[in-house]
Amino acid sequence: MTQALARPAEFFDDKYGMDTTSLQRVLGKTLGKQIDYADLYFQYEVSDAVSLEEGLVKQASKHVNQGVGVRAVAGEKTGYAFSDEITVSSLEIAAHTARQIASSGAETASVAIRGVQAPAANLYPVQTPGPDIPIARKLDLLQKIDTFCRAYDRRITKVQTSFSSVHKLVLVATSEGLVVGDVQPLMRLNVLCIAEDGNNRQSGSAGGGGRMEYEVFLEHDQYLEYAREAARRAILNLDAVEAPAGAMDVVLGPGWPGILLHEAIGHGLEGDFNRKGVSAFSGRIGQQVASELCTVVDDGTIPGRRGSLNVDDEGTPTGRTVLVENGILRGYLQDRLNARLMGVAPTGNGRRESYAHMPMPRMTNTFMLGGESDPQEIIASVDSGLYAVSFGGGQVDITNGKFVFSASEAYLIEDGKLTRPVKGASLIGNGPDVLTRITMVGSDLALDTGVGTCGKNGQSVPVGVGLPTIRINGLTVGGTRS
């Protein structure tokens, strides 16, 4: 991996001969007649994964993924072609294909590259790539987690643990003369426990990660905290009662419950949906869309976070974008294409899964800022309701904002106190509506532990979410007990 630690521009030049002259030549062929903009996206990625199940190695793999994507934009039309072979000849073929898709023009244009730029910030200065960590160390870590979980409670019958890491180099070259590269590390640890008591079988999971050094998992035995949390949830769910159904007041805990915010309104604030007028938030800039207690931001500049990036996948520096301020809609998340067509500046949210995909506006780390209420007072304010601490799957309809989420850890609130854990609870609502029902916002903002992955149009990218404790009045809860 020593070579992969070099600066991206030098790496792609040394390994594939992609010097400034070659980049200018391919961009010139891509730009051509009637093409407004063109760019190249190079990727070299080494990834590995290892997992244990029942104390035995279930998987151990290592992969190299490389390629380049070529984009040509003419008005609202985009042509895109990619190749897993990084050579000047393959790039020229891809450039011709992308240009033909976007426009029938055949002329070429000259492109003056201003020189390679380094990102203004280094949010994740990792010295040792995850795939360079010996597999024996990772297996030892997973084995310790397995042993800990089984010793936690005799009712823990199955334990599954996994560790994955990615070390990715990217280089973006544009027809505007920009060339910028980035080195993007990423790690993730997952723990799943199955608990059984007679015919009652329940599960609990936990994990975390980010763009960080491997040793972070070892600091203060952080890996055992994930193990303890997964085991605790599995045992807790053995005693859970069936969830009630109907409209009730709901309190969301801090951290990972921010996934509801991500799905309920985050996607609806992405620029492409709003340019096309298909989002429930389209045309509502400056309008009240939430309780005045709500301020929501997307911030890709938080050091070490899973959703953070020095530059997005179009070479634009990431930033902190205020989406909702004191309940007022202030802006959308933009990539270069949608920002240009909407007459605004890009926000550094152009993201793609890999070189084989076109960029689109996506979230980075999306969260609600903390308020002034004491979290315990929020719970105490509810006579009868639900307290949701963690969520599993969820989905949303962008056009109307309707969402549904399943809670993986939740409790009844009775007379202002947390009582019995419940299972089978789901939250059902409408994104624009649910924001207006927030009546209390806690002072305990927390970000998730680093496990979020967001899907959109068949592409998956790592993201972060966050939330303080909040109270939502009159939210519909789907359950098995009326």
Q: Which of 238, 253, 281 is the last residue of a domain?
A: 238
Are 249 and 149 part of one and the same domain? no
Given the DSSP bridges, would you call strands 241-242 and 417-423 parallel, antiparallel or unpaired? parallel
pLDDT for 2 beyond 60: no
List, for residues 421-449, the tens digit of each pLDDT value.
999 999 999 888 999 999 999 999 999 99
Q: Are residues 177 and 209 in the same domain?
A: yes
Question: In degrees rounded to 5, what are phi and psi of residue 201?
Answer: -125, 120
Burial classification of residue 136, based on how many CB atoms lie within 10 Å of its CB (0-12 exposed, 13-18 middle, 19 or more buried): exposed
Q: Are residues 22 and 142 in the same domain?
A: yes
Confidence of residue 373 (pLDDT cuts 50, 70, 90): very high
Rounded to two decimals, the pTM is 0.94
Are 297 and 218 found together in one domain?
A: no
pLDDT of residue 1: 43
What the block records as the tokens of 146 is 């397995």
Question: Is 375 a residue whose pLDDT tops 50?
Answer: yes
Distance of alpha carbon 301 from the chain centroid: 13
Residue 14 has pLDDT above 90, yes or no: yes
Smallest CA-to-CA distance from 349 within 367, 331, 330, 334 is with 334
List C-alpha distances in Å: 407 to 62, 217, 395. Answer: 34, 27, 13
Same domain assignment for residues 233 and 247: no
Label residue 107 by pLDDT band (50, 70, 90).
low
User: In the chain, pLDDT over 90 holds for what percent of residues?
Assistant: 85
CB 472 within 8 A of CB 438: yes
Residues 217 and 68 in one domain: yes
User: Which CATH number do you get for residue 134?
Assistant: 3.30.2290.10
Task: Please state the domain count of the chain.
Answer: 2
Contact between 300 and 309 (Cβ < 8 Å): yes
pLDDT band at 134 (very low <50, low <70, confident <90, very high): very high
Helix axes 88-102, 20-31, angle to 10 degrees: 20
Quote the pLDDT of residue 402.
Answer: 86
Range of the domain at 39: 3-238
pLDDT score of 104? 63
- Report yes or no: 29 and 102 within 8 Å, Cβ to Cβ: no
- Same domain, yes or no: 223 and 263: no
Element (H, E) at 81: strand 77-83
- Please check the confidence at residue 5 and state whether its pLDDT lies above 50: no
For residues 259 and 320, state if they share a domain.
yes
Mean residue pLDDT across the chain: 93
Q: Is the pLDDT of residue 475 over 80?
A: yes
C-alpha span between 303 and 312 (Å, rounded)? 15
Domain boundary among 238, 256, 275: 238
Asked if 301 and 184 sit in the same domain, the reply is no
Question: Are 52 and 163 part of one and the same domain?
Answer: yes
The strand pair at 464-467 and 446-447 is best described as: antiparallel
The interaxial angle of helices 135-152 and 222-238, nearest 10 deg, is: 40
Regarding whether 192 and 55 lie in a shared domain, the answer is: yes
The predicted model gives 214-243 an average pLDDT of 96
213 and 248 fall within a common domain: no
Q: What gap in Å lies between CA 439 and CA 418, rounded to an integer? A: 19
Write out pLDDT tens, residues 142-184.
Answer: 999 999 999 999 999 999 999 999 999 999 999 999 999 999 9
